[in-house]
Amino acid sequence: MSVNTYETLNAKVGRRSFLKMSAIATAFGFTSSFASTNATRSATEEEIKNPFPGSKIVKSICTACSVGCGVLAEVQNGVWVRQEVAQDHPVSLGGHCCKGADMIDMVRSEVRLKHPMVKRAGKWQRISWDEALGNIATKLESLRQNDGPDSTMFLGSAKFNTEQSYYYRKFAAMFGTNNIDHQARI
């Protein structure tokens, strides 16, 4: 893998995805034919030193769980292009788990779910939040009326903070069941 190939593709895919693609290409012997397509050029010295001119560093946090580890996002023209750990973050102190290290790929994924969707006649359709919440409420009420509150289980999220866990527990109790747990235990 040459530096210029990596830098050119890095603008479109995250580092982890690129490494996966490289491994597959090597395994199937694609590397030499890929390199001979003239699809790439050598990076200039300036591009190697500064591949994303005009970019800025935005301090953010990983949203995969409620620990909230620090992430430094390098953003160019509104696009997240590279990621670093935040060494000075008071909680994570420059550390990440594998989910946080992959945050850029998750945010930029083409299959990322951004809106409520429903499958009708075999096709996924976008619906409004009001419609989605209405559908869920109708289904929950129907389960409670027809099969009783213990026909359901409430499963909390690792993203919940203390207050969210508190009111989620209250919601299950209001619904009438003790069937409540947390996905991180499972």
Rounded least distance, CB 141 to ligand SF4, Å: 34
Provide the mask over 15-54, with x wherever binding to ligand SF4 is found by CB under 6 A and - wherever it is not: ----------------------------------------
Q: Cα–Cα–Cα angle for 28, 104, 23, nearest 5°? A: 10
Rounded least distance, CB 25 to ligand SF4, Å: 29
Interaction between residue 97 and ligand SF4 (CB under 6 A):
yes
- Parallel, antiparallel, or unpaired: how do β-strands 180-182 and 117-120 relate? unpaired
Helix (H, G, I), strand (E, B) or coil at 155: strand
Which strand (E) or helix (H) includes residue 22? helix 15-27
Interaction between residue 89 and ligand SF4 (CB under 6 A):
no
d(C-alpha 48, C-alpha 45), whole Å: 5
Stretch that binds ligand SF4, among 7-15, 27-35, 95-103, 163-171 (CB under 6 A): 95-103
Interaction between residue 67 and ligand SF4 (CB under 6 A):
yes
Asked whether 99 and 62 are in contact (CB, 8 A), the reply is yes
Interaction between residue 136 and ligand SF4 (CB under 6 A):
no
Interaction between residue 14 and ligand SF4 (CB under 6 A):
no
d(C-alpha 69, C-alpha 159), whole Å: 12
Interaction between residue 70 and ligand SF4 (CB under 6 A):
no
Give the residue with the Cβ less far from ligand SF4, 144 or 182. 182
- Two tokens, residue 148: 């009783």
Stretch that binds ligand SF4, among 44-52, 93-101, 145-153, 176-184 (CB under 6 A): 93-101
Among 82, 60, 80, which residue's Cα sits nearest to residue 69? Answer: 60
Q: Which of residues 51, 64, 104, 105 is near ligand SF4 by CB under 6 A? A: 64
- Two tokens, residue 140: 């929950």
Q: Which of residues 5, 62, 73, 82 is near ligand SF4 by CB under 6 A? A: 62
Angle between helices 3-10 and 15-27 (to 10 degrees): 130
